[in-house]
Every structure is written in structure tokens, then in C-alpha cells.
Amino acid sequence: MRFPIILLTLASILSFSSTQVLADEAEKLHALFDEHYELGLKRQPIMATFQGDHRFNDKFVVEIAPEYIEESLEIARDYKKRVQAIDPDQLSHEDQVNREIFLYQQSAFLEGGDIPGHLIPLNQFFSMPSIMAMLGAGQNIQPFNTAEDYDNFLARMEGFSDWTKQAVKNMREGMEKEVVQPKIVMERVLGQLQAQIVEDPTESTFWNPVRNMPEGIEDEEAERISKAYEKAIAEIMVPAYRRLHDFIESEYIDQARETDGLHGIPGGRDWYAWMARQHTTTDLTPEEIHEIGLEQVGKLHKRIETLIEEIDFDGSMTEYFDYTKEDPRFFAESREELLEVYEALRPAAEEGLDPLFDIRPKAEFEIRKVERFREREQAAASYMPPAPDGSRPGIFYVNTYDLKSRPLWMAEALFVHEAIPGHHFQMALQQEQEGLPAFRRHGMNTAFVEGWGLYAESLGKEMGLYEDPYQYYGMLYMDLWRAIRLVVDTGMHHFGWSREKAIDYMSENSPVGRSDVTAEVERYMVLPGQALAYKIGQLRILELRERAEEQLGEDFDIREFHNLLLTGGSMPLDVLEREVDRWIEART
């Protein structure tokens, strides 16, 4: 009777061998993830600073240089090949998902390898000159606590000067190939650059850290730093901004294009189709997205018309739009009052979380107004994630520029989108998931992230918000706004709409002030496809929730569903769908 013992021993050996293979393959996979991520931080040191990794705060890499771009593509090809070589059948389910997302990212990057985005390196919304001003203002990302911190940014200034030289070279090549920005965009850029060209260094944005130098820095060091910054501003930063400004003004702007969408660039429609796939993580075509947008605009108009009837407003939807745009009761009288309105929403939002969520991020968030030097071109609100090491909270930015374009009836929907349970919840919790590899903890899939933010707006009623019908209208308006984006973004970049036609469409179909509409349209002009992510992501999340509710019935737990989405990190929508289907199957 020794056979059972032998068989049991053999089974144990095989089980141990199988477990060891799984462990070995997982170790190889995560070693590649870690290696790739670390390389990415070194090659993108400003991104590292944004993520709270301060090892490279003195470094600046010119990422628009052709040799850097070619090297990036080669790195993607190499790591894609090495990760593909790891057999997914030898991995746990979690690592199969990690592998799939990593390969998706590398493939998407390589697919766009021939797209000449580096030839249009400047825009008014978010490009290196404005990023440097944000860093150098000393108010958020780049630390200015020690003498070493100040020296780090001095070193980074030199790198920015090199970037401006490469940018001019790239734009000249773009002029030759007819890959140029729209004229109106560059007119906006000129104003931003001019703001950094000062005669007196102490009037520069980059002098703020010196003006607010912490007391812990000794007098002798403080004097050295002050002199160094005065010299660097006068001899490095001002000439760098002037270099860009003068080139654009004297050479580039006359050759900037009159068309407003990517269709006006050679190969632009193919470029845009790739951007649409990138931002939505779907295979939807621009034509299909345009039709989805038109359908959603129609549905939301009907919901708004129903609300207008319920509140007994005497007039049409257009007249209601005008009323909500013009009545003084809907607007703050000062920048400070607008900030106070958003701060006052915090307790009510927090109280409404328990029925829907049983997890909370450890990180806190602050509410700040958008800095003056970039407020004119910015949207109504935005969010910046906290530093992973806890050194900086999340930041919910409120734009206090042009108060007549910041109606108070959108406050609750904006708060839940940007703060809780929207971006702050999702991004902070993602960073805190230690079981995820670093590239997923700190990565951002736009369709998931913005889709979650818009989905969060729809949770307001379940949280006890939107009791004021005007605040509920604000939620419907913001949903309408994202649906309109599908129409306008595809309209400009694929169907050839002009900037004016896009502005007119948004103004006629929503209650938004014209200055805010203009800023939004000009944002879409320089970030093709990004505006598609919100509504496409939201629709997929809502579809998956409805599927889970229908199939699980009484066994559906909304908190478990939200945990699945929030602890898994942002992921491509197709991957998310498979994960939700697997979650449903495990509960049936």
C-alpha cells in the first residue's frame, strides 16, 4: 500500500513546482515593471516631481528632442517584447491584468510613433512654459524648503533654456511640413510668454520662492540664493521666454494655420482617430462618437425640459439658459466668496459617502484658486493628486477668474467631480494600493479617470445632494457639457468645424458664458480627443453598474462595486469590463 503515499508525495512535489514557477514568472514580470518605471522617472524627471519623487528635482530632460523620442520608442519596443515573453498562463489573475495593461500602454504608444506632436510643442493650456511657471512659483509641486531645493530649481532653469531652443527648432521644422498650431492659439501663447518677460527680476513669477524664503535658511545662504535667482531670472529665464515670444511673433504666427482642428494638418484625421482611441481606450471612430454625442445631447435636453416644467419656470429651455446665465443670485460677488461656497460643501459631501463607500483615502485635499498667471485659459475647476509620500495634499483648484462665468448652481456637481467621491477619491486611493505595481499606482487612463469623475456627479442624489433643483440642474448641465464635447471635439478635428461654429454650438445648447465656452473650445483645439474621455468613460461605467445590478439583483452591493473600481486603479475600458464581468460571475 505504498502507492498512495508515493502519489501524494508526487502531487506535493508537482504542487510545489507549479507554485515556484508562478512565483518565478511573477518575479520576472514585476522586475520588468519596476525597471521600466524607474527608467521612466529618470527620463521624465518633472513627472517624477509631480508624483512626489524628489530624487530628480534638479534634472530637466528635453523630451521634444528627436533623439529622445526615438529612444523612447525603442525602449517601448524592447519592454513590450520582454513582457510578451512571459507566459500569462504562468501568472496569477492579478498579474495577468497587470501584464495586459502594460502591453496595452506600450502598444498604444508605439502606434502613435509617427505622429509629429513634438513639432507643435506650445499651446495656451498646458505646455512646458506654463509648467515651469507653475513649478517656479513655489506654490505647489517643486519644493522650496531648503537651500538644496533652491539650487535644484536653478539647475532645472538651465534645462528649460535648452528646451526653448529645441522648441524653436521643432517649430521651424513644423512650418516646413505644415504642422503648425492655429493662429488664435499662438496669440494666446504670446500673452502668456509676455507675462514672464520682466525688466526687474523681483517682479517675476520665479522670484516668489525668494520672496517667501523659509526662516530656516541661514542669512548667508539666503543672500547667495537671492543673488543666484536674480541672475538666473535675468540671464536664463527671461531670455528663454523672450526667445519663444520673439520667434512666434516675428516668424511663426504668420504661418500658423487658419483652420482650428487637426483635419487642417497633413494626415490630421488619422492623427485624430489615434488620439480618440488613446483617450477613450475604445475602437470607436470619430463618426460613431459624434453620433453618440448628438444622441446624448438630445436626451439631456429632454431631462432639463422636464426639470423646467417641475419648477414651473415660465419660458423655453433657451430662456431658462439665459436666466441661469444672467440672474445675479447665481453668482458670487468676489473670488473669496466663490472659494467659501466650495469649502462649505465639504461636510455635506462627506456625510453622504457611507451608503456608497466603505473605504476612504488617507490623503486629504485642499481647495485653492487657480493662479493668476494661468487662470484666463483654464477650465472652471481641476484637480491635482496628492504626493504619494504624504508631503502634499491633493489640490482642488477653483477658477475665480470672470465670476460671471462661474455660476453657483454648478458648485455641488463640480465638488463631487473634482473632490469627493470624484478625482480625489479615485486618484488618492489608487496611489495607496500597495499591491499594484508602480506604473499602475501612478498611471492615468483618461477614460477611466474622467469617466469616474463624471460618474461621481451622478451619485449626488444618492449622497443626499442636489436637493436644490438648481444644483440638480447644475449636474444635468455638466453632463450635457460633456455630451456636447463629443460633438464639438469630433466636429472640429474630424468634420472640419471652425472655432466659431464650435463656440456657437456650445453656446446655443448650454447655459455657459461665452468666455468659458471660448476657453473650452480653445482647450479642445490643443488637446485633441481628451474631451472625449469623460462621457465615453462615464457611459461605460454606468453600463457596467446596470449590468451588475440586473444580474446580481438583491446580491448587488454598491459599496463592493465601487471598491472593485477604486482599488483596481485606472485601466482601459475593455479591461475594466472584463474585470466587472468576472466579479459578477464570482457572485452568481
pLDDT confidence band for 20 (50 / 70 / 90): low
- Residue pair 248/127 in contact (Cβ under 8 Å)? The answer is no
CA distance 100 to 500: 42
Can you give the pLDDT at residue 14?
A: 52
Say yes or no to pLDDT of 388 above 90: no
Last residue of a domain, one of 503, 524, 540: 540
pLDDT confidence band for 481 (50 / 70 / 90): very high
pLDDT confidence band for 377 (50 / 70 / 90): low
How is residue 469 written as a grid cell? 433643483
Is 52 domain-assigned?
A: no
Cell 461636510 -> residue: 347
pLDDT confidence band for 398 (50 / 70 / 90): very high
| Span of 208-222, 389-403, 408-422, 451-465 with lowest mean pLDDT | 389-403
pLDDT confidence band for 37 (50 / 70 / 90): very high
Is 392 domain-assigned?
A: yes
Say yes or no to pLDDT of 434 above 60: yes
Is 548 domain-assigned?
A: yes
CA distance 320 to 473: 11
Report helix angle 411-418 to 446-458, nearest 10: 140
* Whether residue 106 sits in one domain with residue 127: no
pLDDT above 90 coverage of the chain, percent: 85
Say yes or no to pLDDT of 22 above 70: no
CA distance 492 to 512: 19
Q: Which residues contact 554 (CB under 8 A, 6 or more apart)?
A: none
Last residue of a domain, one of 76, 111, 146: 111
Mean pLDDT of 102-108: 96
Is 229 domain-assigned?
A: yes
Can you give the pLDDT at residue 588?
A: 87
* Whether residue 84 sits in one domain with residue 188: no
Is 390 domain-assigned?
A: yes
CA distance 296 to 435: 38
pLDDT tens per residue, range 509-562: 988 778 778 888 998 999 999 999 999 999 999 999 999 999 999 999 999 999
pLDDT tens per residue, range 314-357: 999 999 998 998 899 999 999 999 999 999 999 999 999 999 99
Mean pLDDT of 205-220: 95
CA distance 442 to 421: 19
Is 59 domain-assigned?
A: no
Q: Which residues contact 99 (CB under 8 A, 6 or more apart)?
A: 29, 83, 86, 88, 91
How is residue 342 written as a grid cell? 466650495
Helix (H, G, I), strand (E, B) or coil at 92: coil
Pairing mode, if any, of strands 381-384 and 365-369? unpaired
How is residue 80 written as a grid cell? 513590450
* Whether residue 516 sits in one domain with residue 546: no
- Provide the β-strand partners of residue 257: 182
Task: Tell me the residue type at 191.
Answer: G
How many other C-beta atoms are found inside a 10 Å radius of the C-beta of residue 315? 11
Last residue of a domain, one of 208, 235, 258: 258
Can you give the pLDDT at residue 90?
A: 95
Say yes or no to pLDDT of 242 above 70: yes
* Whether residue 312 sits in one domain with residue 288: yes
Whole-prediction pTM: 0.90
CA dist 320 to 225, 278, 306, 313, 414, Å? 57, 37, 12, 7, 21
pLDDT tens per residue, range 253-272: 999 999 999 999 999 999 99
pLDDT tens per residue, range 442-461: 999 999 999 999 999 999 99
pLDDT confidence band for 13 (50 / 70 / 90): low
- b/e map 275-307, b = 16+ CB within 10 Å: bbbbbbbbebebeebbebbeebbeebbeebeeb
- Residue pair 103/439 in contact (Cβ under 8 Å)? The answer is no
Query: Percent helix, strand, coil in the chain (nearest 5)?
Result: 70, 5, 30
pLDDT above 70 coverage of the chain, percent: 96
* Whether residue 187 sits in one domain with residue 290: no
* pLDDT, mean over the chain: 93
The domain tally of the chain equals: 4
* Whether residue 363 sits in one domain with residue 296: yes
* Whether residue 200 sits in one domain with residue 237: yes
Helix (H, G, I), strand (E, B) or coil at 436: coil
How is residue 382 written as a grid cell? 481641476
Is 282 domain-assigned?
A: yes
CA dihedral of residues 383, 376, 131, 391 (deg, nearest 10): -40
* Whether residue 325 sits in one domain with residue 224: no
pLDDT tens per residue, range 43-63: 999 999 988 899 999 999 999
- Residue pair 297/487 in contact (Cβ under 8 Å)? The answer is yes
* Whether residue 288 sits in one domain with residue 278: yes
pLDDT tens per residue, range 127-159: 999 999 999 999 778 999 999 999 999 999 999
Pairing mode, if any, of strands 381-384 and 394-398? antiparallel
* Whether residue 285 sits in one domain with residue 235: no
Can you give the pLDDT at residue 7?
A: 56
Is 50 domain-assigned?
A: no
CA distance 414 to 131: 24
Helix (H, G, I), strand (E, B) or coil at 99: helix
* Whether residue 334 sits in one domain with residue 233: no
* Whether residue 434 sits in one domain with residue 313: yes
How is residue 529 written as a grid cell? 480627443
Q: Which domain holds residue 12?
A: 3-43+65-111
